Structure 1
Amino acid sequence: MIRLFASDMDGTILQDHSTIHPDNVKMVHYLQEKNIPFVICSGRDFYQASLCLEPANIQCPVIGLNGAVIYKKNGTILKEVTLSHEDTRKLIQKIEKHHNNWDMMTSKGLFSLHFAEKFAKRVATFKANHPDFTPEQFEVELDKLRKLFDATDVSNVEEVLEDPTIKIYKVLTSNYEAEDSLMEIKSYVEQELPNLVVTSSFKTNIEITHKDAQKGIALQYYAGTLGISMDEVFAIGDNSNDVSMLKLAGYSVAMGNSNKEAMNTAKYQTDDNKHGGVAKAIQKCLKQQN
């Protein structure tokens, strides 16, 4: 019997960068009306997740930042796992040797190296990918991007690390031109920084957290607070940072748009994120239990 449903956000319950597919909204509302626990498991933090959940009138706990922080549905922190400042310094030095940018998710928000420059590129790419948008439509989407990527622009990692009160949850780096550099950074972490773990939510990025800050570990902990075993958990996702929870869940599902690693790990498959794959998978699971 499945007693807890867990879903990834980007590429899974979201049909684009900010909107939950209508069928998925209805399904989550149904679960909550039946008092069946539902939790989001995301690389985002609570604020970023809320930008998508609130318009859909969904209030739920969030396992955020790939498992580094577990938030109650009101946003207060239930549990957190942080990176040491020294490990972070070594990691950033390696990233910058490859001329890669980085983003750092912390207890005091998002810090981003040369953020203004990166955001301008992101906006230009978005505009190029949506040539049919009217100026009004583009402005609406641009406002969503501003909220989603709200960050403090820094030019040096020491601007963050010099503050000992800042808790570091996750470091993200991306490279659209030289993906090999990401593999070199991943290899460095695996060999030289044993307390860290590398996952990915897109093929052009890697995300680094403490080894105990993984979706699967965090989901197992959260389920335990409800007296639920992992055999009684449904988990669904689409990418490498979902694999740890897909491995542990009793009922695991890969989206139709999943990468190979997620697809090969999950027990079941469903439709893609643009066609309500989450709702279809949950509906199938519920029918199998009746």
Structure 2
Amino acid sequence: MLTHFERSLVEALRPLPDHRLTAIVEVARLSPPERREVFDKFGNAGYPILYQEHFANLRDIGPWLFCSGKYTSLQGQYNFHHGLSKATGDTPISWLTSALEPSRLARHLGEAATASGPDGSTHLLRFYNEQAFPILHSRQDLPGIDHLLVPIHSWWLRDAELDRDDGEKGWRRYEGKDRADCCGVPPIHLDQACWDALTGDGSSQRLADLLGSLPGAPAIESYYPNWLAQVRSLLAKGRRLGLKQQADLDEFVLFLSLHANPLRGSAKLEAAFNAAFKDAVDGNQPLAQALKQRLPPRLLTSQSNV
């Protein structure tokens, strides 16, 4: 019986016979037995993302792109997903679909392996991992990031927030541009807000700790990385949309972390939130105060109330 995620992958691939399922695995995160099994079974259809000569010392432990090789049928790609998932255990994986041939896709992704920070210095960018990718996906206004997504149809990452009641692990889908005729990533330049979100300023860790301390929260050891990635992504989004005060950013993160679902399910609540948000951006009043005026008490999330 297929899992919910396996059905999602199959249904995404079924109408796209020219698309391939691939997976990014960071080899350093595999145990030695897992590493041997992955390369024994899939090494002939694997491509290093850090292919550049100056990454020679990192290549074998860095990210690799794996595919189903010559088995391009829907069944063959399902078998590839099943086999690689079993071989890698609980190691985080990024699953991608794209019409770009896998070896070319690996070269494309490799061009996003470095980025310049706000000070102009160059840094290795682990764009594919579960902390960084959601943040980068939300910052497609920055040079280079939009190009990274051009040949991608869909990108899936583990997301504990979407775990199912039956114990099945949840996955979040991120959309790309689905244009296989364009590949290549120009230099990526990160602004200060994106840099802070990726490197983890103190506010990100504080808010993640706060979410983990709420009554009924799952064990922080397993959920903390997911919360931290979510907090950093929302902080970047809040800054991009015009919030400047840290208290407003904190309120924005807490509210959407705790109440995004009821907000999406009610046009009235969504309109009230948007009006309160505009008040804060315009500097009329703090976001917490604006929300208090417009939303029912059960949805108030200021730090004094959580």
The structure whose Rg is larger is 2
Higher relative contact order (CA 8 A, sep 6+): 1
Same-fold call, TM cutoff 0.5: no
Name the structure with the higher strand share: 1
Name the structure with the higher helix share: 2
